[in-house]
Structure 1
Amino acid sequence: MCKKWLFFLFWSIGLTAQVVEKDLRNLSWTVHQLGKNEKLKATVPGTIHTDLFANQRIPDPFLQSNENEVQWIEHEDWVYETEFELTKSELQNAHIELVFEGLDTFASVFLNGQSLLDADNMFRTWRVEIKPFAKAQNHLKIQFKSAVQQTNALAQKIPYQLPDDNRVFARKAPYQFGWDWGPRLVTCGIWKPVKLQFWNDVRIQQVFHEQVAVTPEKAEIKVKVALESTVSTTLDFLINNQKHRVAVEKGTTQLDFPLTITKPKLWWCNGLGAPHLYTLSVILQQQGKHIEQRELKIGIRTLELVQETDAQGKSFYFKLNGKPVFIKGSNVIPPDSFVPRVTEAQWVALVENARLSHQNMLRVWGGGVYADDAFYTACDEKGILVWQDFMFACAMYPGDEAFLKSVEQEVEDQVKRLQNHPSLALWCGNNESDEGWHNWGWQKKYNYTTQDAAQIWNDYEQLFHQRIPNTLKRLLPSNENRYWPSSPSIGWGRKESLSQGDSHYWGVWWGKEPFEKYKEKVGRFMSEYGFQAMPSLQTLRYLSDGEPLSLTSKAVRHHQKHPTGYATIDEYMQRDFWLPADVEKYQYVSQLLQARGMKIAIEAHRLAKPYCMGSLYWQLNDCWPVTSWSSIDYLGQWKASHYQVKESFAPVFLAVTQNETGISIHGHTDTLEENTGILTVRLIDFSGIELWRASKECVLDDEKSTALMPIPFTTLPEFEKEKTVLYLEFTSNHKKTVAYHYFVKPKELRLEKPTINVKIVGETLLEVSTNTLAKNVFLQATDHSFGDNFFDVIPGIPRIIKTDRPTDTVKIISLFDTFPQ
């Protein structure tokens, strides 16, 4: 018997009135294929794929093209089993509940041969009273039916096919069925914790809070406790040590308790201030005995989504504590195709990587899963706002009452789990379903009759314009109920998409439009845009699993899920760079290409502030090793684009616009600090000779981007655009922001072979210098990380780079190495 088990046993004997939980994850679990006798060791939480792999029954689906070898799994039914003991004192409790925090997806649960429940929603918590069936020795069985077989059967019940495919009939992570960056691995299993809960007279169902009013002097909070009682009794509640005695009746009751916080410290997002958190403690006592305790971390803040009609259309921005916030962030997908094996540390690392790159919002995309508690806690602690999609993406959905009721319960479960997080900024109904219906030609593709099309759209409106928002209205206080039915609100092919609501702009990549189009296609809030790049060499070697690396290898080609992915990268690469034939150089240049696209896009968005007030690129991370739109690959390696994002999202923003007659320096700040500083602009040739210099005291505006210094070409000495760089420095409060501007595309630069020197200048600092311009210097050292990479170095202006530990033994590549020799 494990120590955790002994702990629960102690409390169940010593305090029979106390609410007690027993964790069932660490029992001896087995799994077998229905109809076959071989029982394999299983892990809970887990999935059938990871269990089969652990038992050496399948190859690793992430390596080479092994994904193809495991497709049979989705067509089979699988049975998980275990046994557990209950002591005499545990059996004496009035209530014994079996709680599954997540079952993926179509699951029948049996205890001692008795059918307990039939689950059909991966995103719900399932609770069932087992007191009538529980005994000293218990056998628990969960039979998972094939989601593919189940959804195919459900699809037969309606007279038309719904786009995108039959996956829409399952409340199951859509990306498991394959995406243009992810594999098809339709798994099943007990994917979240499972436990028993023992209780008697009374228990807490939920604790949440409502912020009533906030002034600099005080914050008035209403603490709400949902209580379930089987008796009429008197209870004591200690709310942050303030005692309240309450008489309750039998049944479910919601109790409200006032709480005042004097001189509250506000919760701010990353870059604007500290994300201050307060502890909210609720202790339930009955006749002096401790029954149950809950503890929350809450933030005091006001948050609004502002949509106001103006001369250009309609605004779309967030106002935090009364301040309009330019949103800088990205879209998050699940960190693995098999979510149960993602550790809390990995969820936290996602948020930390966003914080380190100056992001202040993450969008949890609707084609994956609702993130782990550790993710939202990290967002609270690090000041990262959360745009939370409900799990619907790129499809239309059934509208029968059973489906709608299941979604309603799913929404309730997730809202109750997440509503206390100060980071939660927005609830969004779906990803691209509205756009898909109106712009992707589904009606023609599926040959719908007028009647069928009307029914499908009616079902859409019932789900996203009635059931979900009505459920939110029932559960959330009005000042926290921010709902957006679909992202984007209007498709990128329509001009209105740039004048109101949020916009997904995919003319770059899908439309093959040049990166420069980003400068024209700027909306009020850019919630998706992006470009692909290969992962790190380390990740390429991992996925190849010993197969020699090449651009035509089976493994490399298999880990590109977009049908024209490499062809699209090639086309864009030839516009701006030289196209290498060598896989290592191609991998490097593909990352530079992606970074170039992100730089142009983010600069365009920030230059348009306050017309544009949000920039969320697609995408932050990967769910497996793959060539994709991510800025961080599956193994956690930063691509060049993530370093570029860190620079482009910096609090002090500098950008150069160029036309036929000259250039102009623009800037603004996103901070609340003093914004006065010295802007110095230097024109330098690639050998390090300074050709021209100008300085000016500037005040950066925190409300809009402004022109700081116009520079007509006629004021500059003659220079060769192919051999010259414009170097910018803005110095304020002993902080320096640096930017570079080149006058031609990378492939047009007349680079010479640089001699790059790296030397240790501090315990965690390296100095990188060169004899001629070194463009996009990439440092590689085994088991080392660098605070900056893919950077430029000008002769006479060395770069100081932070590292986790000192080393001057590094492999170095620069853009010159990819030029024809």
Structure 2
Amino acid sequence: MHHPLDAGWTLTLARGDRPDAFAALGEGIPAAVPGVVHTDLLASGLLDDPFPGAREAELAWIGESDWTYRTTFSWSPTVADARVDLVAEGLDTVATVRVNGELVLETANQHRGYRADLAGILRAGENTVEVAFRSPVRYAREREAVLGERPHSYAHPFNAIRKSACNFGWDWGPDFATAGIWRPFGLQEWTGVRIAAVRPVVDIVDGIPHLTAHIDLEWQSDVGAAVSVDVSVGGSSARVEARPGQPVVVDLDVPDAEPWWPRGYGEARLYDLTVRVGDGADESTRWSRAIGFRHVEVDIAPDEQGSPFSVRINGRDVYIHGANWIPDDVFVTRITPESLAASIADATDAGLNLLRVWGGGLYESDDFYDICDREGVLVWQDFLLACAAYSEDAELWDEFEAEAREAVTRLTSHPSLVIWNGGNENIWGYVDWNWRSRLKGRSWGEGYYRDLFPRIVAELAPTTFYSDGSPFSFSSYVHPNDDAHGTMHIWDVWNTRDYDGYRAYRPRFVSEFGFQGPPAFSTLESVVRDEPRSPFGREMLAHQKANEGNDKLERGLGTHLPEPGDYADWHWTMQLNQARAVSFGIEWFRSLFPLNRGWIVWQLNDCWPVVSWAAVDSHRHRKPLWYELRRVSASRLLTIQPALEGDGLRVVLHNDSDERVTGQLDLRRELFDGTVLASVSLHVEVAARGAWNASIAPELAVAVDPSREVLIAETSNGERGLHYFADDTALALEDALSADARVVADGYEVTVTARTLVKDATLLADLVDPAARVDSGMVTLTAGEEHVFRVSAPAGIDPAAFTSRAVLRTANDLVVRARAR
């Protein structure tokens, strides 16, 4: 029986240089469990919202301090001769736990749980618990001094402590190093035997769903009577006998079960797996959760073009439309099942089918994976190492092994989790980032990627795939970020190159790439209040964590878009350019199919209000990038691209659906006013999960007046692709959009009509009300076309507000304004 200890806690400052404004801490403040120091300070009123302005430096003392949590509780045993364990599912991070003054736990790993037998310590009546946390920042520095300095990103040596790396600050996140009891904490009372863990290994063998259930039992005594273990799932069941010291493994065919499929390939079917020990009368002898059956392969076998990275589920190749996932809030104890569901819906609504849980973050809660299981979202899970070299001394090796075994055991039940990955950019860093000369022969983490983690996955999750790292080429003799082999990251685009540079690569699989843009205007205004507003104001730069980030934003405009004239134009221009850059890359990748087998954009979500690579900001506004992700993730994408060999253009239809596509393709070169200059019709026939390519004749592929012409490809099934013969700065775009708005039953409708070509019409609805949301964005209209934006927003708004020039934006208006300057 579980007894949560989640009430009556107080938090005190044990050591640290607190500012005078926090003098009330001397008496202690109420604390929430689960929670962290920052959220307790917020709840007490001692700490205002830490996000507005530039508060990181003034709040650094919190992460530099030691803190103590205390509570008292009454205890009386409910069963005679029961064992009682203290169960801490997550302590962040370096903690000493005492019960009634007796030391019961010492921890130094946020990523694992702990358990301690309280025999001889717990007493009937009143008991006390004290959890003392050391400063994670000071501890990391101390351990680095002992283990040896190793290369790492950013200011703090996060690679010397087993704590979420991004919690010390990243190029999209603040440095708010936390401490606290961040996952459930309490007592478990049990007798005889308890289920310590169930590890269901699923597969489909010769067409039959199969379960191998590994059941770890803990016995109160080494001498005990045998007990029955019953396993049932999907109409099949088995019973075995268990004795102390003997492993319990149950093999079970489940012929009545249907396979679990990812989104777009079939239903994500789940079945309740139940394990009972003895009569299964209480939670210590009963375990249940939903599982699914799937067979996982990733094809990395060398071929004539190099070596692929092709994800195959149940024998079918799955083209990956993915996004990288970071912790969904700076203060992770504020994340709820509801907030996770909303964020994962941002992925599924955009047509994505995979989330990569990135190695600088967390092993997420079961709620996250449960939602992915139900929604058919594949999960790529990194082990938690990122952008650093790691010591392989026993101090860290033992922690890595313990946390990896716990994480793999816990997460193996989730059919959505199909890939385990050794870490993020560490192998690439060793090869390319001048680590070897700095390490001077010290270990850097290779033993984790090439030995420890693959052994653990092979032992505990043998029906998932393991990758040594990301990027990785699956050969010791090929550069780890070679586009012809395995997975690659593309970061010269953004850091040093125009986004045209995506076409320099022919990647087999892109597991990271992206481009920055600001959040919604209302989100930015909630935290940035520089006077006057400026992209380079002090508060703005506190919410731009990338090195020279706003300089890179401006450089990234290239000749694509004009230099913005004011702050509002800067905001729209940078959002627009972010959306354009990422969709440009994805259209190129998809045009390479079947050579290219997928991409994972950096990144889906934000953890606070910030200028970043995210498609959805922390206030849940879907940025223009999100609408472009939805467009280029469609099951059928029509795109016009340069010829792969020589000059000219080609038109490509990538059909990532189970239906064969036949129909007519119309190609026409026309003026912006709709006058057709040349046209041709082609017959299109594309196999399911296939692609069709055709060269475009010169009379269509070459413009007479590049500034006033567009090439349009349209199929009889409704797909459209556009090609411009010059960047927007050289196009004769006009202010050609009219708009009308009205109140409707469920919000507002804004109807827009184009007199001539209008590019990327987007409604920045949050400028009218921060609660407003709109169903579409980045809409390009040819002459005479109409589009209806549907807006969800509070009642009582004058609908004309949604048609103002500040709210209804296009690429045209930027060009027109630039010409007028």
Shift, 1:718, TM fit = 6.8
2:711 is aligned, of 708, 713, 726, to 726
Q: Structure 1 residues 285, 800: CA separation in 2 closer, same or farther (over 3 Å shift)?
A: farther
1:62 partnered with 2:36: no
Question: What amino acid does structure 2 have at the position aligned with 1:24?
Answer: L
- 1:292 positional shift: 3.5
Percent of aligned positions with the same letter in both sequences?
30
Q: Which amino acid aligns with 1:391?
A: L
2:443 is equivalent to residue 456 of structure 1 = yes
- Where does structure 2 lack aligned partners over 5 or more consecutive residues? 16-24
Residues in 1 aligned to 2:77 and 2:304: alpha-carbon distance in whole angstroms: 73
* 1:287–1:640 distance in 2 versus 1, CA, 3 Å: closer
1:484 aligns with 2:467: yes
Instruction: Tell me the alpha carbon deviations over residues 265-309 of structure 1, each in whole angstroms, 9 at most, x when there is no partner.
Output: 322212222222222223333398996432222222211011111
1: distance between equivalents of 2:558 and 2:209? 58
- Which of the residues 225, 229, 232 maps onto 2:219? 229
Change (3 A) 1:503 1:288: closer
User: Mean alpha-carbon deviation: is it higher for 435-444 or for 140-149?
Assistant: 435-444
Q: For residues 570-596 of structure 1, give each alpha carbon's deviation from its aligned partner in whole angstroms, at most 9, with x where no partner exists.
A: 112142111113111111110111111
Letter in 1 for 2:692: T
The residue aligned with 2:428 is 435
Q: C-alpha separation between the residues in 1 aligned to 2:307 and 2:563?
A: 43
Which deviates more from structure 2 when the two are superposed, residues 345-354 or residues 806-815? Answer: 806-815
Q: Which residue of 1 aligns with 2:271?
A: 278
Match of 1:17 in 2: none
- More displaced stretch, 689-698 vs 43-52: 689-698
Match of 2:614 in 1: 630
CA 1:408 to 1:88, structure 2 compared with 1: closer, same or farther past 3 Å? Answer: closer
1:51 to 40, 54, 59: 40
Following TM superposition, by how much is the alpha carbon of 1:548 offset from its aligned partner in structure 2, in angstroms? 5.6
Distance, in Å, in 2 between the alignment partners of 1:507 and 1:418 is: 34
Give the Å deviation of 1:93.
5.1
Q: What's the offset of the Cα at 1:496?
A: 6.6
Residue ranges of structure 1 left out of the alignment (5+ in a row): 1-19
* Counterparts in 2 of 1:212 and 1:168: CA distance versus 1, 3 Å: closer
Moved more, 311-320 or 111-120: 311-320
What is the CA-CA distance between 1:495 and the residue it aligns to? 9.3
CA distance in 2, matches of 1:323, 1:587: 43
Could you say if the C-alpha distance between residues 715 and 609 of structure 1 is closer, same or farther in structure 2, counting changes exceeding 3 Å? closer
| TM score, norm. by length of structure 1 | 0.90
Partner residue, 2:120? 132
Partner Cα distance (1:177, 1:439) in 2: 24
1:258 paired with 2:243, answer: no
Amino acid at match of 1:183: P
Note the alpha carbon deviations across 1:209-251, whole angstroms, 9 max, x for none.
Answer: 23354455x4233333322333213336252476655433234
The one-character-per-residue Cα deviations of 1:672-717 (angstroms, maximum 9, x if unpaired) are 1232233233434322344444333311244553314x33232589
Q: Please give the residue correspondences for 1:111-126 in structure 2 after superposition, counting only pairs within 5 Å.
A: 111-126=99-114
Partner in structure 1 of residue 187 of structure 2: 196
Question: Equivalent residue for 1:501?
Answer: 486
Change (3 A) 1:788 1:400: same
Instruction: Give me the whole-angstrom Cα distance separating, in 2, the residues matched to 1:162 and 1:416.
Output: 31
Q: Please report how far the alpha carbon of residue 662 of structure 1 lies from its aligned counterpart in structure 2 after TM superposition.
A: 4.6
**Higher deviation after alignment, 395-404 or 674-683:** 674-683
Map of 1:669 onto structure 2 = 655
Matches of residues 671-690 of structure 1 in structure 2 within 5 Å?
A: 671-690=657-676
Look up the match of 2:499.
Answer: 515
Question: Which residue of structure 2 aligns with residue 94 of structure 1?
Answer: 82
- The CA deviation at 1:113 is 0.7
What SS does the aligned partner of 2:371 have? helix
Change (3 A) 1:503 1:755: closer
Number of residues paired by the alignment? 783
| 1:206 aligned counterpart, secondary structure | strand
Q: Helix, strand or coil: the match of 2:752?
A: strand
CA–CA distance in 2 between the matches of 1:758 and 1:279?
52
> Judging changes above 3 Å, is the alpha-carbon distance between structure 1 residues 593 and 108 closer, same or farther for their aligned structure 2 residues?
same
Change over 3 Å in CA distance of 1:589–1:130 after alignment to 2: same
Q: 1:152 to 1:252 in 2, by over 3 A?
A: farther
Match of 2:21 in 1: none
2:659 maps to amino acid: E
Shift of 1:70: 0.2
Cα gap change, 1:243 to 1:742, in 2 (>3 Å): closer
Check the 8 A contact 2:72/2:129 in 1, yes or no.
yes
Change (3 A) 1:682 1:145: same
Greater displacement, 110-119 / 782-791: 782-791
- 1:524 alignment counterpart: 508
Superposed displacement of residue 655, structure 1? 0.8
**1:554 aligns to what?**
538
1:331 deviates by: 0.9
Deviation at 1:498?
Answer: 1.2
Equivalence for 2:393: 400
**Is the 1:755–1:770 contact (alpha carbons within 8 Å) kept by the matching residues of 2?**
yes
- Per the alignment, in what secondary structure is the counterpart of residue 575 of structure 1? coil
Contact 1:238 1:244 in 2 (8 A): yes
| 3-state SS, counterpart of residue 149 of structure 1 | helix
CA distance in 2, matches of 1:318, 1:484: 12
Paired amino acid for 1:700 = V
Structure 2: how far apart are the matches of 1:562 and 1:97? 45
State how far apart, in whole Å, the 2-side matches of 1:93 and 1:140 are. Answer: 22
The aligned amino acid for 2:812 is F
- Letter of the structure 1 residue corresponding to residue 341 of structure 2: V
How far apart, in 2, do the equivalents of 1:288 and 1:23 lie? Answer: 19
- Which moves more between the two structures, 496-505 or 325-334? 496-505
Pick which of 37-46 and 155-164 moved more: 155-164
Report the residue type matching 1:488 in the other structure. P
Q: CA deviation at 1:316?
A: 1.4
After alignment, is 514-523 or 716-725 more displaced? Answer: 716-725
Aligned-residue CA RMSD (Å): 2.7
Query: Tell me, what secondary structure is at the counterpart of 2:658?
Result: coil
**Worse-matched range after superposition: 811-820 or 243-252:** 243-252
Match of 2:94 among 98, 103, 106: 106
Shift of 1:569: 1.1
What SS does the aligned partner of 2:297 have?
Answer: strand
Match of 1:220 among 210, 221, 232: 210
Kindly indicate whether the alpha-carbon contact (under 8 Å) linking 1:585 and 1:818 is maintained by their aligned counterparts in 2. Answer: yes
SS in 1 for 2:255: strand
Q: Cα–Cα, structure 1 residues 808 and 206, in superposed 2: closer, same or farther, change >3 Å?
A: farther
The 8 Å contact of residues 428 and 481 in structure 2, kept in 1 or not, is answered as: no
Q: Given the alignment, which residue of 721, 724, 727 partners 1:745?
A: 727
Q: Aligned residue for 1:4?
A: none
- The answer as to whether partners of 2:312 and 2:318 remain within 8 angstroms in 1 is yes
Other structure's SS at 1:168 match: helix
Write the letter of the residue equivalent to 1:23. Answer: P
> Where do residues 633-712 of structure 1 align in structure 2 (5 Å cutoff)?
633-658=617-642, 662-708=648-694, 710-712=695-697
Distance 2:812 2:780 in 1: 12
Change (3 A) 1:705 1:519: farther
Matched, 1:178 2:165: no
Matched to 1:206, the amino acid is A
SS in 1 for 2:525: helix
Q: Which moved more, 1:75-84 or 1:770-779?
A: 770-779
Distance 1:631 1:681, change over 3 A: same
How much does 1:762 deviate?
8.0
Matched, 1:249 2:243: yes
Supply the AA of the counterpart residue of 1:485.
D
Provide Cα deviations, 1:59-107, integer angstroms capped at 9, x if missing partner: 32211101121011122110011112223426x3511111111101000
Alpha-carbon distance in 2 for matches of 1:715, 1:795: 19
Relative to structure 1, is the Cα distance of residues 456 and 288 closer, same or farther in structure 2, using a 3 angstrom cutoff?
closer
Matches within 5 A, 1:333-412: 333-412=326-405
The structural deviation recorded for 1:657 is 1.8
Cα contact 2:63–2:136 (8 A) shared by 1? yes
* Alpha-carbon distance in structure 2 between the residues aligned to 1:548 and 1:716: 47
CA drift of 1:801 comes to 4.2
Q: Distance in 1 between matches of 2:703 and 2:412?
A: 61
Deviations 1:605-662 (A, max 9, x none): 1111122212111111122111111111121111111111111111101110247965
**In structure 2, the residue corresponding to 1:178 is in which secondary structure?**
coil
* Residue of structure 1 in register with 2:18 after alignment: none
